[in-house]
Every structure is written in structure tokens, then in C-alpha cells.
Chain A
Amino acid sequence: MQSWFKFELDGETCRVESESTHRTLAAFLSELDPCFARFATDASWRGGHLVVLGDIEGDRHRFRVVDAQLLILPMLAGRQIWTPEGIRNAEPDHPVNLALQRGHLECGQARGDGLVALLFEGYYRPDLRRQGQINDQFDAIVTRSANVPAIREVAAQVFASTEQLRHEAALKAEKSGEESTVWTGRKDIFGDRFTKGLFQIKSRASLSYVDDAKRRFYRPVNLVELLKLKREYPGSQLIAGGTELTQRGGEAEWANLISLEGVKELNDIITTEEAWEIGGAVPLTEIAEQIGRECQAFNKIMRRFGSRAVRNRATLGGYLATAWETGQLTPLLMALNARVILLSEEGERDAPIANFYTEGGGTILSPNEVIRSVIIPRYTESSMSDRGITTRLCDTYTVAPRRTLCEPYATGGFAVELRDRKIAKAWIAYSGIDKQPVRARDAEQYLAGKVWGEKTVFGMLPVLVESIQVTDDRNEIADAEYRKQLVVTLFQKFFFQHPAADSVRPETLTATVDFARLDEPFFDALAD
């Protein structure tokens, strides 16, 4: 047990001693130096106080933009933090700083700081390659006073310069056959002071920290340790990304914290022929990076979930455990027929997502259990043809007052498995409708065995309306009547966008593609 730990703040070692385990980074910074005074104010309504976290995920070193209000200090042990102020001072000639000085953004100091952090992360992101991704990168920005076209332009310039660097590095690496390390970001192609420091980070070591009030923070490195700790400290609170717990602020309730971030088994994504097994403590961004290309619907819903800074920290296990009634991911997980694996010292058990939630807004998770992983089937052609399925149509839709960073009205996740033109099985799931995410089992049964077509769908709608209960106790903005309509219209939308197996891509049905250059790369190596 130690009463101190270290992390790197703006390139210098910062030793933390006898600080409360519950202290957020924002609170810590605001008292550290007058130049960080702005961290003291609450900024959650406009995307939070963004800083950059340098970390290792598996074997990949990454800069991740995070909200300093949603990080507690002991989480940072052994990691790096770059504040916007630090980024500006450390290298005033960094492409990000130069771009922001040149661009005519006319924004206040606070917005400017947020932009530094977001651009900085984007600059080092190996997967940021197309114009359409700019929106995801900057979705922590609420725009009453931001000049979005100018930010898009600045961002495209900065990201194009990275892409060019990456292309050049890839050409060089081709000779040694290490090309893939460049594209996945496993190799430091920048060689600047930021990445040099980043690549020195070692994997997460075990940590046991105790503060002055005798509250403990443990970071075990494997499951055995974790379960042992959980038994020793029955009242302790598990914490993964901490995006939910830090917002609650109910300090007294959870004296001791056990972090899941170091537990190796919970931080892996195992890909097999049939399924992905996603560890309970894998951040959402990482999941999207790994499975998003194959599972487009997951990528799609991720763009509407929280903001970049939240997704960088929030984990799938944490998301499930909090049983968020309007959560946008659950309907899709239900439609994908995902399963949750729960682990305790007694052993393992698993349940389909739909059975994971209990009526009234709870979960089946018992106090001595942890969410070990979530298994998402891959639905490859071979696995489907074994079952005689010709096509699986799956999609998810969410409706909210604005596109990101807000409580959605409702979310729907749908899937139908077709045997030729007939429906073999259907999944219809919603969240934001009732106190817990729900599946419309009656409607699913109605569809089974029928032909996937307009007549079936319209015949099913009354059954759907009957089987779904809409709660009336959410706030005024989420009008119950509207959510009731969405139950029907979201499914209609699904049918409209996926009328047949070999249909067109849904995006082309909207005017969006004519106006937004979503697929255009930032940098085209083949162009002169």
C-alpha cells in the first residue's frame, strides 16, 4: 500500500501525495497553478474540460482526448496528461498550434483549449482518414459560438498533413516489411517530443494507493487479484472508465475503488471465426476501431454516443452495469444477439443482453460479480449458411434533440434473418421507451415465418404498438406521445432502408451524400 503515485503532466513528472482517491483531475489542476483556474468551473454542458491522455491500449500507444472532470487522479498513475496549455507551451510550432493560429476561428479561450486537445488527438490518430470522421472527432463541441466550417477546414488541413507523413513512412517501411505497424500506429512515425514520451509508457502496473482518509484505490492486473480484492472489500466500488461514477459525485457511498483498467483479461478483444469477445473494460473507441469496419451499425451508433471524450473512456462493461435507461447501445446489442458473461469467485454464467436488464431499471448483476466480457456474434457468411440463413439485415437508429452529447428521445435496434425471402427470426429492441431497454417479443414472433415485405411490416405495426409500454415519467422534452410514434416509425425506417437483401447503402437514400464529402480522404497519395 502506498500513499503516493506519479504521472506525467505536460512532460514533467508530477508526484501526487495524500490526495483524495475521489479527486478529479480538473479539481486537482485548478488548485495546482493559476493558469489552470478555468478547470474549477463546471463545463459539462459544453463538452467538458478537454485534456489529452497518453496511454497504452494493448500494444498500441495512443493519445486520447478525455474530459478532466471525468477522470479521478489515481487512474492516471503511470500515464501522461497533456493540457492544452502544455501543448501550446511545449511546442509552439506544432502543426496543431500553427493551424489554430492561422485559422480565423474567433472563439474564446475555453473553446480554443478544447480545439487544441481535439486537434492534437486527431493529428496522432492513425484511423482518422476521411472527411466524414471530422464530425466524430469534434462532437464534444457545442456550437452556439463556434465557427464550424472554419474548424472543419483547419482540421482537414492538419489531418491531411498527418496522412501525408504516414504515407511517406509507410513507403519507407515497405522495404522492411513493417508497413502495417505504420498504419496501425504501433510505430512512432512522428518522432516529436510528444510521441517520444508516449512510446516510453509501459503497460499498466498494479497499484494500491491509500489517501489520508484511508480510502483505497486498487488497480489489480489480473482477474484472480480482482476477485480477491472484491471479496476483501465487499463495500468497494468497481470503476473502469469512470465517466458515469465521476458525474454522480456520491463520494460517501463508495469508500474504496477497484479499477478494472489494469486487469488484462478484461482489456482484450478476442476475435474468433464466429464472434468477438469484448472484455468488460475495453473503451468504446477501441471497440469501434476493432470491430467497426465489419460491424457498420456499431460504428454508426458510436457516432451518436456521448462525445469523443466520453467514448474514449467509457467501457462496454461500465455501460451495461449502469443500466442507463436511454442508453443508445443496448438496442443494437440486442439486435446483434450479444451475450454478457458474468464472473464471480463461484464461477461464470452468461445471459443474453435482453435478459441482463431487469424490469424497473436494474440488472441481474449480483454484488460479487463482474462483467467479464460481451460476446458479439460476427454473422460471417459461413456461420449463417450453416444455419440456412441467406441474409441478416441489422441496423440501429437513434433520435435526439441534437446529434451528440445529449439524452436521446429513443433508440431502436433491429435485425431480421432471412431464409430466402422469408423471415427466420427477428429482433426488435428499443431503449428510452420504458424504464429499461425492451424487446418487442410479440412483434418478433408475428414476423417469424412471414415474407419480408411491406404487407408483413404494416400488419406487424399494431402488434408492435400493443406490446410496447411507453413510460410517461421522463422530462418534458422527451414527450411520451413522440416516443410512442418513434416505436413505429423507427421500425418503418429500418424497413424502408433495408427492403431487400441486396439493397443499396442507406446513406445514398438521403441527400447527405450529395453535400457532405463523407468518404473523401484527407490526403490522396495518388493525386499529384
Chain B
Amino acid sequence: MSESDDTITPFELPLEKSDKGAETFGERLRRRRRELTDTGPPPASTWQSRARTLSAIVVESPHASASIAKKSGDAARALEGVECVLFASDLPPFHNTLGPEYSSEPLLAEDEVHFRGQPVALIVAVDLATCQRAASLVEIEYHTTPGILTLEHAITMSSYHGEARTSQRGDAVKAIKQSKKKLSGSLAIAPQQACLAGGTEINVRPLRTGDGLTIHARCLLPTAVRSAVAKAADLPESNIHIEPVDLPGPIGVLETEPVRLTSLATHAVKRCGSSVTLHVTSPHSPLAGGSRHQAKARYEVGFEKDGTINGVEMELILEGGWYPADSENAMDRALLHADSVYGFPNLSIRARLCQTNHIVSSSLPAEGAAQGCWAIEDVIQRVAEATGLSPQAIREKNFYSEEGDIKTTPYGQPIDAVAISRIWTQVLNRSEFASRAKAVTEWNKRNPCYKRGIAAVPIKFGIGDPRSDRNAAAAIVQILADGSVIVRVGLVDTNDGLDAQIREEVAHLLGVEEHAIRVILNDFDPLPRATPVIGTDASGLILRALEDACKRLTKRLREVALQMFAARGQTEIEMEAIRFARGTVGTDFTGNAPLHFKEVIEGALRKRVTLIETGYHRTPNLWWDPELGAGWPFTSFTYAAAVAEIQVDAFTGEIQILRLDVAHEGSPSSNQGERDFAQLMRAFTLGAGWMLSEATPDPENEHPDLYPIEEGVFGFADAPFQVETDRLRPLGAPATVPGDPCGEAPVLLAGALREALWDALRAFGYSNDLDVELPLPATPPKVLTLFKEISRQQREKGSNS
């Protein structure tokens, strides 16, 4: 949009001249605006300018922490083909920010950079090669400062974001003090890299009419991108169109990163009046990638000889990066999942967010939840070691139980103890755990060089987002003249089979054939806001919104049908008795010939009854008060348990998953078993990679680009040889049953792999009195080092005794 088209009088500050030498804020603002306009107004958006596509790249900071002494783009601007080089000072006043809903970080760094990869300048040129040449000509002088790169460093420096959050039950300190046995320990959880797609491309182009923009970007929450672009371009959101893109899954794309990049690209479009494709070419650029929150758990536990845990005091420290975009949410989730399925009478969890010179991201499946859950499983493991009992026995002893007094989580949301015991027995029976554990022990005795390990781990996963405003969804259902149905849901399509589930549900609700239903995902224009697919129970919300819409439609159609029945002389039919099934509309009584669904629709059209309806659903009664440490943050809990059997090669440290048994709660749609299974495998693989193979570069590494992160992702042959699953019907009230319980929860089940690895290590000679730590992820080099350490300590122990 050109300045000259702008008919609204621009905001002007009063013309007051201050006598003092220092420039006031208002003066600075006016001067800045004048400077911007003095260079001439940006070129008007003509059809010629709109017809071309320019390329843009971001000049990223090579340092994690530095102050910028000098920025100059003159040499780059002089290069032929370069359209513009933008620094922070070149962006319109008040626009150099990512917006308060994220982190309020500057889009382009002003005087300091706080993480490696932070955008410092934006270069727009005719093609990518010219951009890259120009980037090499941009002069930026950094004065590096020692940054906080590791979690330990941040803890030592007390570099935290905000205050600690706590959630507690009973008096853990007292309980630990009074316990017969106590121990303390810690667990470090490495981050996992989110994206591997090898850079990204974002295209922003002006609409043909010149008063709007079209965005093409891989993003998880397109409406957030829409809002950000509207803000950057000073356009109403209604003029921004988001194009659908094909996403391979909920991983590989993020929420905040595309928002940052599209905002930058929009500024480039505004400046040049042309379409702009913003390239992030480096596959390891944090602008395209992003990683999970690194975490450290420190705990103290008091327990009895029989394995009853009296009290646990735990501190969970998460890395929040420099600008905590949505890290607080990850911290909350870690806090809310740290009790897992265990009803310890005294539990105190304290969570903190560290400020480091990094960038982190949280729109990943089960972010935060996994860190919390795995930390408490580590406690169980240590207690099992100390008591000499099996970890399974310790778990059973400490479950939330039906008989016990504790019926809620520390923050007050009710727990379903029946569901926990049901899932646990199911998985143990299904996997024939006892006999297989015996077989593993036998096998390990015979084989000196390969060891097997087996373990069962139950989990509880909160479905829904503690940020309650995210738990709402809308859907539009329209019936066409021939009785076919179009369903529009403003969800991003992650190719997870959600459309099939929606089709099944709508077919059931309207009583029409599934093939007559078309589900439109990835269409963001008809609805005000898209539901985030990560973190919320998106499919459950959508299904309920559809139920809402279909109920109202069927109510109207019932009236039509009643009149049609009456016209046929069937006056005895009551409206409530009319059912929709298998493409017909009729009553349960035999003898009444039903109407075809199509006939009723034709009747409705004749009677001018509207056949479009919007459904809406928001989860009732959600709240979470982080300061109180209390609330009802989740729609519901889903429970699952896994038994994993692995084999470790003592020569190389390589691990193979032999068999996986899972008992989980299924989705409410009866025909979606295969979808649930696919979702489960997807999430489990993600967790397993995090647990076993996806090593990330050392945070102090100066050339992380050389680190082949993608090589740690599981290959086809790394998948478990055998997978057995039991899909159980959820126990809760129908209104709280999640639509897709397998979307994220199985990430946590990868905890079973770690437990199985502990089991295998015991066969190698690990015992409680050795001081070794099992790293996470347990990559082959780390596991081999661990073996060496175990045998070294054993030798020492042997020589001492």
C-alpha cells in the first residue's frame, strides 16, 4: 500500500521545540519519520512492481551475545540488483517488534544481539545469489560479550525469567526429614531440534488489487501469522490471505518462527512494493529451526524400605532462552506433569525458567510435559535402586489409588485412579511382562556382549492448553442442494488423518454417507481464529463444535421432515422421534416409510430454511493460576502405559528397540483405530529419537552449522521390530473425552526406553553404589563411555574390597 493512497491523516505529535540540547522522545520520533520520508516515499505499488518477485535474506548474528558497534549497508546497497538493505532503524517507528503476545523482541536487533542467529539486517535483491553477495558486503562490527550459554551457567549466575512457580501437596520437607531413607539426585534433559527441513522459504505477495497480501509460509498457527502481518503492514486482517501448504506432520513447523520471518518479509514487501520470497538457506539456522527446552531436574526424596515414597521435593529448571516467547507455558506444563501417575502424599515441585543466550521454542508435541514426567520417573528409578526392589513394584506402590485419600493432582484437578490401574494391568498382561522379564534375565546371563532390558512405564498426559483462551474451536457445516456436505474447520492440515475422523463424525451426526462429505482443512478465511493443533485438544474441540452445528441443522431439518410427513398423511409422528441415519430421515417405528435425506433437503430449500450453520465449542471451567499453583488447566487427562524391550550392543553402544507394547485410551470415534495407531507411532518415534539418538551440538560450540543434527533422526530400520497396541475405550464422561489422545501423549512413553536401558545396564553390572549418570539422549558414543565407566568403577571397587 502506498503512502499516497493513504487518505487517513497520519498521527502527528504537537510541534513543541525543547530548549535543551537533548532530543526528546517526540523529537526523535519526528526526526525519524522525516528521515524516512526524506529518502523519498517508498515506491508505489504498481502492477509492474507487483508482477516481479524479489528475494530476501536475513543477516543473522554469528555471536550469541554481543553489542553492535557499527552497522553499515552502503557497500551492499551499491551492489547492482540490490533493492534495499534494512536495519532496525529503517523499519517504521514502533514496528520493530514481534508483538507482546510473543516476546516483544525486536524484529531486527538494535544495539545488541542476544542469541546466535538473531536477525540484524534484511537484504532484498533481485535474486538469492545477489542477496548472498550483498550480505557479504554488509559491515557489522560486533563487540562480543561473554554470554550465558549453558543451563549450569545460568543457574550459577541466577539468571532467571520471572519468579519460580510452585505446586505442592502436603509438607515435603518434613516428610523427607522423617523418612527412614532418603536420597537426592538430578537429571539433565538435552534439547531436541525441531525442524530438519533444511531452511525455509516464505513468500509474501501483494494481491492483484494492491490492497492486501497473500502469505505462503509453512506455519503451525496461520492466524497468528495473519495477525502479525496485518500489524506489520498496517492493514486490516481481512485483507490478508493465507495460502495452504502441505505439512508432513505437526513437527517440522513451529508457531513463533514463521511469525518472525513473515513480519520481516512483510516489511520488505512494504518497502519494495513487490512480491518477496524470504529465504533461510542454512538448515541449522535457529530462525527456521528452533529446539525444545533443555531442562534440569534436581530432587530429594524420602522413602521407606518397602518402596513407599513419603515425600518428593523437586526443582525443575527449564531453559527459556533470551526472549521467552512461550517458554512459560512449557514451564507450566513441566510443573503440571511432574506428579505423573503417582500420589505421593507430600510433593513439592518448583519450576524456574532460566535466561540464556539462546532461542527456544515450545510448539512441539508434549513440550514441557515430557520433561516433567521423565524427571519423576528418574526418581522412581533411583528409589528402586536404593531399595533393591523392581521399579515396577515401586510404581505400583505409589500410584494414585482408588482407596487412597488423594483424589486430585497437587493443583486440584481430579485424577481417575481406575484408569491408571486399568491401563497398567492391561499393558502388563498384553506384553506378558513377568515371563518376558524372566526371559530377558536368562538371556542376559548367557550373552556377555549383548544385553537386553525391559521396562514398563505408565504416563498421564493433560490434554488442553493451560492458556485457556486457546481451548476453543469453530466449524462451519453447510449442506448443499443434493444432500452432500461441506465442512470447514480452520485448522492447519498436518496430514494426520483428522479429515477422516471429522468425516466419520459428521456422517454419524447427519446420517449421511461418508463419501458425500468434503472436509476443508487449511482454509483460514472463513473463521476468525484457528485452533492451535499442538498443545490443545484440537480434534476434540472441533468434533464438539461440529456436534453443535449439526444439532442445530438437524433440528431445523426435523421440522421440515415433520411437515413433509404430515403432508403424506403421517401426522402421528413426533418431532423428537425423527432420526437421521444412512441417508434417510425417519422414525424408529417400522411401517413409516422414511424420507430420503435429499428429499428433506429439497423440501428445506423450497421452504427457505437455511442450510449453513456455525458450530462453536470452548472447554468450560478451565483455569490455571500459576501464582497459587492451583487450577483446572486441562480438559482431561489421558492415561497410557508402555512396555519396551531393547537390546544394547556392548561393543558399540548401539541400541535396538525390539518390541513395544502400548495400552492407551483411544479416540471417541469408533473407526479411527488406525489413525490412533499412526498418531501413536509418530509421537513415540519423536520421543524415542529424543531419548536415544538425536544429539544436539554443545551449546558452547562456535560452529553448530557443521553439526549434522538430522543424522540422529531415526531411520526406517531403527523403528521397533514389533509393535503391539491395545486401544481402550476412554472412561471419562463423553463431554471430556479427548478427540485425539494419541497426538502428543506417546512422546512421554519413550520414557520406557530409558527405563529399559537402566535394566540392561544392571545386567552389565551397574548397581546403586556406582556413581554414573545415564545421559539423555543415550547416543552410541555416550552409552559406550558409560560401559567403560561402569567397568572402571567396578574394578576400583573390587580392588578396594
Contact = CB atoms under 8 A, between A and B. Distances in A.
A109 B246 contact: yes
Report which residue of B283, B651, B712 has the largest number of chain A beta carbons within 10 angstroms of its beta carbon.
B651
Interface string A142-165: 111111111100000000000000
B519 interface: no
B780 A142 contact: no
B198 A42 contact: yes
A482 interface: yes
Interface stretch (A181-189, A330-338, A509-517): A509-517
A492 B780 contact: no
Report which residue of A145, A475, A512 has the largest number of chain B beta carbons within 10 angstroms of its beta carbon.
A145
Contacts of B495: 106-109
B781 A482 contact: yes
A493 interface: yes
B694 to A, nearest CB: 9
A455 interface: no
B658 A493 contact: no
A400 B248 CA distance: 26
Given A45-B197, A489-B784, A496-B449, A402 B677 contact: no
A486 B649 CA distance: 12
Given A399-B652, A401-B712, A477-B707, A106 B675 contact: yes
B447 A509 contact: yes
B658 A514 contact: yes
Contacts of A477: 695, 707-708, 711-712
Contacts of B236: none
A404 B651 contact: no
Interface in B197-214: 197-199, 201
B711 A512 contact: no
Contact of A402 (B448, B679, B714): B714
A47 to B, nearest CB: 9
Nearest to A492: B651
Interface string B417-458: 000000000000000000000000001000111101000000
Given A489-B651, A489-B784, A105 B678 contact: yes
B693 A401 contact: yes
B286 to A, nearest CB: 17
A105 to B, nearest CB: 7
A516 B708 CA distance: 30
B412 to A, nearest CB: 36
B784 A104 contact: no
Contacts of A44: 198
Interface stretch (A23-31, A133-141, A239-247): A133-141
Contacts of B252: 144-145
Nearest to B695: A477
A46 interface: yes
A142 B714 contact: yes
Contacts of A509: 447, 449-450
A500 interface: no
Interface stretch (A285-293, A375-383, A386-394, A405-413): A405-413
Interface stretch (B299-307, B626-634, B681-689): B681-689
A400 B448 CA distance: 22
Contacts of B649: 493, 510
Contact of A148 (B695, B713, B716): B716
Nearest to A303: B717
A479 interface: yes
B717 A511 contact: no
Contact of A145 (B251, B443, B651): B251
Report which residue of B677, B697, B714, B723 has the largest number of chain A beta carbons within 10 angstroms of its beta carbon.
B714
Nearest to A151: B716
B249 A407 contact: no
Given A111-B248, A147-B678, A141 B652 contact: no
B713 A142 contact: yes
A402 B718 contact: yes
B577 interface: no
A76 interface: no
Given A104-B674, A104-B675, A477-B707, A144 B197 contact: no
A110 interface: yes
B715 A409 contact: no
A510 B652 CA distance: 14
A482 B784 contact: yes
A253 interface: no
Contacts of A418: none
A138 B779 contact: no
B248 A149 contact: no
B48 interface: no
Nearest to A111: B248
Interface string B281-296: 0010000000000000
Nearest to A103: B674
B546 to A, nearest CB: 20
B496 interface: yes
A148 B681 contact: yes
B717 A404 contact: yes
A453 to B, nearest CB: 16
Contact of A479 (B497, B723, B781): B781
A399 B654 contact: yes
A143 B714 CA distance: 6
Nearest to A148: B719
A487 to B, nearest CB: 11
B788 interface: yes
Interface in A15-62: 41-46
A401 B779 contact: yes
A45 B283 contact: yes
B785 interface: yes
B788 A485 contact: yes
Contacts of A107: 248-249, 495
Interface in A481-512: 481-482, 485-486, 489-490, 492-493, 496, 509-512
Contacts of A493: 449, 649, 651-652
Nearest to B676: A104
Given A486-B652, A511-B452, A475 B678 contact: no
B638 to A, nearest CB: 19
A141 B715 contact: yes
B715 A143 contact: yes
Contacts of B283: 45
B678 A404 contact: no
Interface in B696-743: 697-698, 701, 706-708, 710-723
B247 interface: yes
A147 B720 CA distance: 11
A107 B249 CA distance: 7
B716 to A, nearest CB: 5
A496 B651 CA distance: 10
Contacts of A147: 677-678, 681-682
A421 interface: no
A108 B719 contact: no
A149 B723 contact: yes
Given A145-B251, A490-B652, A104 B497 contact: yes
A476 interface: yes
28 contacts: A45-B196, A46-B710, A104-B678, A107-B248, A108-B248, A110-B246, A143-B716, A144-B689, A148-B685, A148-B716, A148-B719, A149-B677, A150-B677, A150-B678, A151-B716, A399-B652, A401-B708, A401-B780, A402-B693, A404-B715, A409-B781, A475-B706, A475-B708, A485-B784, A509-B447, A512-B656, A512-B658, A516-B722
Interface of B: 196-199, 201, 246-249, 251-252, 283, 443, 447-450, 452, 495-497, 645, 647, 649-652, 654, 656, 658-659, 674-675, 677-679, 681-682, 685-686, 689, 693, 695, 697-698, 701, 706-708, 710-723, 779-781, 784-785, 788
Interface of A: 41-46, 104-111, 135, 138-151, 303, 397, 399-407, 409, 475-477, 479, 481-482, 485-486, 489-490, 492-493, 496, 509-512, 514-516
Given A142-B196, A150-B677, 9 more contacts: A46-B196, A106-B496, A144-B196, A146-B685, A303-B717, A400-B711, A402-B714, A403-B716, A407-B711
